[in-house]
């Protein structure tokens, strides 16, 4: 299992907000809501849209793909709305001493 990798300071991410990061050569989106952080792939499962450019809906706990609007659960990566039908990968994210750490989910 990969190690946790530092990607940013929590204070460098807007609240609420998101940040594109690269972990082990993979692009991921780190999402901040208050002191909580989440991480999902920067890839929409519909047609590869960059989720980091999408709209964050804190109340709905979702991030919308900027291409055709599919929404993904920021905690689980689950596809919530069409046209996406498959989940994008979710990764472990945590904050330690103000630093955001991410561990990739290999699955």
Q: How far apart are CA 39 and CA 74, in angstroms?
A: 7
SS3 38: strand
Residue 77 interacting with ligand FES (CB under 6 A): no
Region binding ligand FES by CB under 6 A among candidate stretches 2-10, 24-32, 34-42, 66-74: 66-74
Of 8 and 80, CB closest to ligand FES = 80
What is the dihedral sign for C-alpha 46, 8, 92, 5?
Answer: positive
Query: Which of 61, 67, 76, 95 is close enough to bind ligand FES by CB under 6 A?
Result: 67
Residue 43 interacting with ligand FES (CB under 6 A): no
């Amino acid at each position: 299992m990969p190690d946790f990798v530092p990607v940013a300071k929590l204070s460098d991410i807007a609240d609420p907000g998101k940040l594109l990061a690269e972990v082990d050569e993979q692009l991921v989106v780190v999402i901040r809501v208050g002191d909580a952080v989440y991480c999902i792939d920067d890839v929409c499962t519909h047609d590869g849209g960059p989720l980091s450019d999408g709209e964050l809906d804190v109340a709905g706990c979702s991030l919308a793909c900027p291409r055709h609007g599919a929404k993904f659960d920021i905690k689980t990566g689950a596809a919530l709305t069409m046209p996406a039908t498959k989940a994008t990968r979710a990764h472990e994210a945590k904050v330690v001493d103000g630093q955001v750490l991410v561990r990739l989910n290999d699955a």
